[in-house]
Amino acid sequence: MRQITIQQNDAGQRLDKFLAKSMPALPKGLMCKFIRTKHIKRNGKRCAISDRLEPGDVLTFFISDDFFPEHAPQQTPDFLKAPAKLDVVYEDTQVLILNKPVGLVVHADNGGTEDTLIHRVLHHLYQAGTYDPAGEQSFTPALCNRLDRNTGGLVIAAKTAAALRDVNELIRSRQLCKQYLCVTAALPPRQQDRVQAYHRKQPAGNLVEIRDAPAEGFAPIDTEYRVLAQEQGLSLVLVTLHTGRTHQIRAHLAHLGAPLLGDNKYGSVRANRRYRVFTQQLWAWRLGFPELDGALAPLSGRIVTAPEVPFVSAFFPGVQLPPPIT
């Protein structure tokens, strides 16, 4: 007989999800059988795979020790192969907000890259003594938003399960204000505008298509922009996202006739060659949090801004960036 007590970071999950994460050697079909035949119990009673776990729940197992993780071969965690170097803009006990550099992927790609932002986060937390994979039953710190490899800027990492749930809900309910800076190779149609359109991710090529009218398979998008400065045919643009879809800023501004400088998917080859810029000039610049309580209380009403945006000083020296709207 074995027993596991559910900790705070494990709570809120379905029983089957918890078991799949904490006991990867246990096949799902066998897991369901063990639950059905009461070889796995919750608080001494019959349970169901859909049960939501609560802190303090005790799971009792009448199964072979071979299914428990300590019997699996021990390996060095992959995240220790990545450096622990991070540009930390904000940190508390629940979250990290990081300034991701251009060129760093957030998660492992098809090439099996080990140096990823999430690996750096895990290594950083491991060194700080706030994360030990051996001490967690099912939770791993995670990124709450993602950026393309060649987009820099702010990324939120959750240290706890409660923070991960709360940040994901903020993003899902569009309560988190997300602002970006970018350089366009042409002047947008207006000095300031909020534009709606329709977006579809194409099945191949990692490209998206934008249309002005509804169509089957297209989801609505909402993009707000303001031109902050112009210099030598380039425009510095502040973008506020009211929806967050794949390549939304890049594809939508290109659709409006103002492609991002350096963008090799939606941009102008001529402009990119002229300025010798071959990565999109796009930066996740500012995050605005609403009034909050619970795990995210320290971020209540806070505005977090990236400390430096390289292309601003390169193309628009001396420009005054706008203060946050409170």
Is the distance from CB of 26 to CB of 138 less than 8 angstroms?
no
pLDDT category of residue 39 using cuts at 50, 70 and 90: very high
CA distance 6 to 42: 10
Domain with CATH 3.30.2350.10 in the chain: 78-172, 177-315
CA distance 212 to 251: 12
CA distance 159 to 130: 8
pLDDT category of residue 57 using cuts at 50, 70 and 90: very high
pLDDT category of residue 25 using cuts at 50, 70 and 90: confident
User: Which are the contacts of 121, defined by CB distance < 8 A and separation ≥ 6?
Assistant: 86, 96, 98, 141, 143, 157
pTM: 0.86
Domain at 78-172, CATH from 3.30.1330.80, 3.30.565.10, 3.30.590.10, 3.30.2350.10 = 3.30.2350.10
Domain with CATH 3.10.290.10 in the chain: 2-71
- Per-residue pLDDT of 216-271, as tens digits, reads 999 999 999 999 999 989 999 999 999 999 999 999 999 999 999 999 999 999 99
User: Which are the contacts of 203, defined by CB distance < 8 A and separation ≥ 6?
Assistant: none
* Identity at 244, one-letter amino acid code: G
Six-digit token string for 176: 């988190």
In this structure, CATH architecture of domain 2-71: Roll (3.10)
CATH class of 177-315: alpha beta
